[in-house]
């Protein structure tokens, strides 16, 4: 795997995905008041699911209790299983602050970060993208979230260069022009997912959360254009996480057709 490190994040993930016939990004959403027990749980979960997943997504609630050393240890364990590790920061600040955050993430071994496009490019995400790509890391941009309230914001009609469009189309346009590696589009909104995948073709990878507990279907999300599925509770809280991951992996290993429509 570490030989794969010479490739860019997107290429590493694609290569792992086809080797493993999997599209699963496992959301490591476990909690435990004892960091020692938490570390054991992470190791156990990884050893039970590693064969079926391509990446691990780690949120704030796991980063906060862990020291730098502990976080590095978890990421090293994931890497030893040939798994990429994504930091779900929904990064959203001015460039100097963003770069402080991503410098830390790259230092502990993360391979990619999820960022919010709201701060914009200049003085927001410009240096993050440039620095990440120089280091073979990935930046995945939010385009449409999976929760029901996402429509209130991402679905807003906005004016862009004098033309009416949806905020999520504007975020998509930006993600493409910035050279982002991926976009997050909820797997709970198949119409949005289908529309977006019809536009982006394979210029950027689509990561879809909301599968299982939030109501999204793995197979339908992939048919609608998701390249990767972000899955948490359906695996982490399953009585048998190995079996749950294998089932989602095989349900979602189907070939997709993507279009090449232009942005509205
Ligand atoms: P479940 O248990 O619902 O967990 O499978 C989903 C995981 O994905 C995160 N999540 C999102 N992350 N954009 C994101 O970047 C989203 O729209 C989104 N929706 C859910 C959530 O934090 C959990 O880790």
Select from 23, 24, 27 the residue to mutate for testing ligand 1; criterion: most ligand atoms less than 8 Å from CB. 27
CA-based radius of gyration for the chain: 17
Q: Write out 24-35 in H/E/C secondary structure.
A: EEEECCCCCCCH
Select from 215, 232, 236 the residue to mutate for testing ligand 1; criterion: most ligand atoms less than 8 Å from CB. 232
The pLDDT, as a whole number, for residue 54 is 98
The pLDDT, as a whole number, for residue 1 is 47
The pLDDT, as a whole number, for residue 260 is 62
130 C-alpha to center of ligand 1: Å?
A: 26
Place of tokens 């993930």: 13
What domains can you pick out in the chain, each with its CATH number?
Answer: 2-253 (3.20.20.70)
**Ligand 1 site, residue 217, Cβ cutoff 6 A:** no
Which pair of structure tokens corresponds to residue 246?
A: 């294998």
* Secondary structure (DSSP) of 193-245: HHHHHHHHTTSSEEEE--BSTTSB-HHHHHHTT-SEEEE-HHHHTSSSHHHHH
The pLDDT, as a whole number, for residue 259 is 62
Which pair of structure tokens corresponds to residue 143?
A: 């385009």
Report which protein residue has its CA nearest ligand 1's atom 9.
Answer: 209
According to DSSP H, which parts of the chain are helical?
9-20, 35-49, 60-63, 68-80, 95-108, 126-134, 150-154, 167-178, 190-200, 218-223, 233-236, 241-252
pTM of the model: 0.95
CB 79 within 8 A of CB 109: yes
Report which protein residue has its CA nearest ligand 1's atom 24.
Answer: 27
Contacts of 93 (CB under 8 A, 6+ apart): 101, 119, 124
**Ligand 1 site, residue 145, Cβ cutoff 6 A:** yes
The pLDDT, as a whole number, for residue 34 is 86
pLDDT of the chain, 264 residues: tens digit per residue: 455 567 899 999 999 999 999 999 999 999 877 888 889 999 999 999 999 999 999 998 889 989 999 999 999 999 999 999 999 999 999 999 999 999 999 999 999 999 999 999 999 999 999 999 999 999 999 999 999 999 999 999 999 999 999 999 999 999 999 999 999 999 999 999 999 999 988 899 999 999 999 999 999 999 999 999 999 999 999 999 999 999 999 999 987 767 667 677
Select from 113, 230, 234, 248 the residue to mutate for testing ligand 1; criterion: most ligand atoms less than 8 Å from CB. 230
The pLDDT, as a whole number, for residue 73 is 94
Report which protein residue has its CA nearest ligand 1's atom 12.
Answer: 209
The pLDDT, as a whole number, for residue 144 is 97
Report which protein residue has its CA nearest ligand 1's atom 8.
Answer: 209
Report which protein residue has its CA nearest ligand 1's atom 19.
Answer: 146
Pairing type for strands 157-160 and 84-91 reads unpaired
Ligand 1: atom nearest CA of 237 is 2
**Ligand 1 site, residue 114, Cβ cutoff 6 A:** yes
199 alpha carbon, distance to own chain's centre: 19
């Amino acid at each position: 795997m570490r030989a794969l490190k010479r490739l860019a994040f997107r290429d590493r993930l694609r290569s792992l995905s086809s080797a493993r016939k999997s599209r699963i990004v496992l959301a490591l959403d476990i909690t435990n008041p004892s960091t020692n027990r938490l570390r054991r749980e992470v190791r156990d979960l990884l050893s039970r699911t590693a064969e079926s997943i391509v990446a691990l997504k780690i949120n704030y609630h796991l980063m906060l209790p862990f020291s730098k050393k502990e976080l590095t240890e978890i990421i090293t364990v994931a890497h030893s299983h040939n798994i990429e590790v994504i930091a779900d920061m929904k990064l959203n600040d001015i460039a100097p602050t963003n770069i402080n955050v991503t410098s830390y993430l790259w230092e502990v071994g993360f391979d990619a970060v999820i960022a919010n496009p709201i701060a914009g490019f200049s003085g927001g995400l410009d240096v993050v993208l440039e620095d990440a790509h120089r280091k073979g890391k990935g930046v995945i941009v939010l385009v449409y979230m999976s929760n029901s309230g996402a429509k209130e914001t991402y679905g807003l009609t906005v004016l862009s260069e004098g033309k009416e469009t949806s905020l999520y189309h504007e975020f998509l346009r930006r993600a493409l022009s910035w050279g982002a590696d991926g976009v997050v589009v909820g797997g709970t909104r198949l119409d949005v997912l289908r529309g977006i995948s019809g536009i982006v073709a394979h210029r950027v990878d689509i990561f879809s959360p909301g599968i299982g507990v939030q109501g999204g279907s793995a197979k339908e999300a992939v048919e609608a254009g998701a390249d990767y599925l972000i899955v948490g509770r359906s695996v982490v809280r399953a009585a048998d996480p190995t079996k749950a991951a294998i089932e989602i992996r095989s349900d979602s290993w189907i070939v997709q057709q993507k279009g090449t429509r232009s942005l509205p």
